[in-house]
Structure 1
């Protein structure tokens, strides 16, 4: 029997300081089931622990193997652990809580589990993982359509309920939306309970709703503060290309993608936020080469071509982005990218991959082609890609384009060497001083000089 979700959250608040500074990229995951002792054998979470996708899959597998085959997934647009601490009955005052149904469900369920910090990409790929494990297509439902369904306890099913989140910054609007979502959760579960259908339910979100900044804490702040400029990083999963076994073989992420010729087009949302069904059509994964093709509704197509070779000098394989091609009808462009390379078991990251001289450039126009490539311009910010040796939805260690010896490091080294030279020269001068081997004796006979007339 669960001891209560919000009692657990109260204990976690005492240990949350180490992970609050990094919680801008984590979302909570709440699991409960009508079957008892599902997660008793799983290791318990502790303050500061961030649950990865593999660890979350272990919790889900335990529920799918030993629990009901009917899975109910509540997906909220945004959710953070701070929503429960700010609007829930954490300190025993449940009268003002906006989660009365969720509190009662977590306390009365035979099995329940609270994961306060889960990597955002793990929550984003959770519907796909459940679909593969259950072998059924997900069905998006709401309380009205749920009454028309005829569920069987012996037949697996995946029901997804989408929950909104307010776009307003006001606490009152947020509180009202969370209260409405809690009522919807209670209504859906009451419908299943009245029909005698056992189920396992999961509540999570695509991205966090609260962004905790490091300088919000007067004591014990983490990270560098001097000359640091904090920028918001988009929290969406990388774009993936799957192989024949439906496993990711190419990962691509960027905070901004802009192409321009006669006008400037921002393709970021069309690539990561709301991609079309054919966004990666034409992409190819091989051991010695790879192709990432991005297809957009405005007839623009961007193709990244990669080559993977073994170099005897380094005794390892390295991949190189050989070409970047842009197609838009009859006006095409090809850019060479010989500097975009990394070991094949690494990913490649660069702050700017652009054809503009202002940022490098890493993309060089192919002068051998006759098409007017100079009219095309492309800039990708926070570019990161991995085209070989991909394992799951997480990038491998990144080989960054920024060199280790930056201008600031060179200035520090030269200044240090100059001071060391001056100190060494001064010590040498001091140590080379010698005392006089004889002195004039003032007590000796005086020298007389005879005078001649």
Structure 2
């Protein structure tokens, strides 16, 4: 599909396809092209409104990786939505004011190209892991300067990853950043072309750039607009620890991770969004024990130690988060978490796992000689972890920390009982009413009341 034709048809879809806005809030585009011809000629074209799943994306990539070049180039942008191409791209072939002149020329002139307007964000996020397993090589993060120093071989597989930013502070800022990203793409591909190296390239993003706006205008979302304090749930994949190349053995996800002692540190982006090859170094897992180690560049290390044991009373294995440790160069802290437990084939989820009293204090200081009480505090929002029986990149059924009889349920029950009591008392009073058994006889003598003169 040519780039100009894609942008024009996409504009028509956005105008005429009303369900499109609701469907693309959690999708990102994927653009594929290659220096070798006829890689996707046998694949069916996608229609407007179709959402490409991870399995379908794998089918497109399998055909390209099996018969195409072994050098794969992945342009991974922080945010990107299909509307960015129509808002900042050329109209009807006019590329003078386009933010993607190089990309449009590449898609028009490449021997093989494929545009997938809407791909499930989960499938796009696991692309580096998927390509790593298919090619059998680790991804190498490069830029234009490091690419000049590389010597690529046509027969040796390689996976090169180029990270691209995105700015959402105003239309002009976003367009300028997208134009700068387009120049980076053109320069990188010019370098490969000058060396005569065959390649297959992909462009996608970690999450959509227009998801908030589309969700606000989606049908049935007006109730959420009234909640001014509501924040959207992040849409990045869970952190995975791969003990083997086939499947992960530990999954961890949170919407926010904050530690504080002398000052408060937000470690969310460093855990889930930023590239850190040694983040989970030291982690391990087996059938009885799993250890998740998070190493940060500011010399802070957080360790989650999970234990799985068989309990005869329940006739099944349960896992428990024995303790959470925080280490740095000066002072350490250890927290016990006896309430964080679930069956071993489940995951555990809780809105707050924190050492602060206002958040339930599921993390308790371990005040021993080896681990004295410290000023460390740890708060994790939307905490979810699974350290045993992990299958793929999705959590199993979650055992939630929220009890069935929450304060809201208790208030509802008490109010209902009060109304039932009032209704029962009223019915009892009505049923107790009796008619008079005697009446005055109107034909009898009237009652005379003597009057004193």
TM-score (norm 2): 0.80
Is 308-317 or 125-134 further displaced after alignment? Answer: 308-317
Structure 1 residues 398 and 18: alpha-carbon distance in aligned structure 2, compared to 1, 3 A threshold? farther
1:355/1:361 contact within 8 Å kept: yes
* 1:420 and 2:420 correspond: yes
Runs of at least 5 residues in structure 1 that lack an aligned partner in the other structure: none
1:39/1:59 contact within 8 Å kept: no
* Deviation, structure 1 residue 133: 0.9
SS at match of 2:212: coil
* Deviation, structure 1 residue 313: 5.0
Matches within 5 A, 1:353-432: 353-369=353-369, 371-430=371-430
CA distance in 1, matches of 2:434, 2:195: 104
User: Paired residue for 1:282?
Assistant: 282
User: Paired residue for 2:33?
Assistant: 32
User: Paired residue for 1:47?
Assistant: 49
Structure 1 residues 172 and 330: alpha-carbon distance in aligned structure 2, compared to 1, 3 A threshold? closer
CA distance in 1, matches of 2:92, 2:154: 38
* Deviation, structure 1 residue 414: 2.0
2:31/2:116 contact within 8 Å kept: yes
TM-score (norm 1): 0.80
User: Paired residue for 1:125?
Assistant: 126
CA distance in 2, matches of 1:69, 1:435: 98
Structure 1 residues 368 and 139: alpha-carbon distance in aligned structure 2, compared to 1, 3 A threshold? closer
SS at match of 1:224: helix
SS at match of 1:390: coil
* Deviation, structure 1 residue 199: 3.7
CA distance in 2, matches of 1:157, 1:297: 27
Encode CA deviations 1:22-65: one digit per residue, 9 max, x unaligned: 8565432112344336274468465273x454443333223212
State the aligned residue count.
446
* Deviation, structure 1 residue 127: 2.5
User: Paired residue for 1:254?
Assistant: 254
CA distance in 1, matches of 2:139, 2:370: 49
User: Paired residue for 1:72?
Assistant: 73
CA distance in 2, matches of 1:448, 1:274: 102
1:349/1:399 contact within 8 Å kept: yes
SS at match of 2:224: coil
- How large is the RMSD of aligned CA atoms in angstroms? 3.9
CA distance in 1, matches of 2:299, 2:397: 34
Structure 1 residues 45 and 383: alpha-carbon distance in aligned structure 2, compared to 1, 3 A threshold? farther
2:250/2:292 contact within 8 Å kept: yes
1:332/1:373 contact within 8 Å kept: no
CA distance in 2, matches of 1:448, 1:191: 123
Is 373-382 or 12-21 further displaced after alignment? Answer: 12-21
Encode CA deviations 1:242-263: one digit per residue, 9 max, x unaligned: 1134632112233433334455
User: Paired residue for 1:342?
Assistant: 342
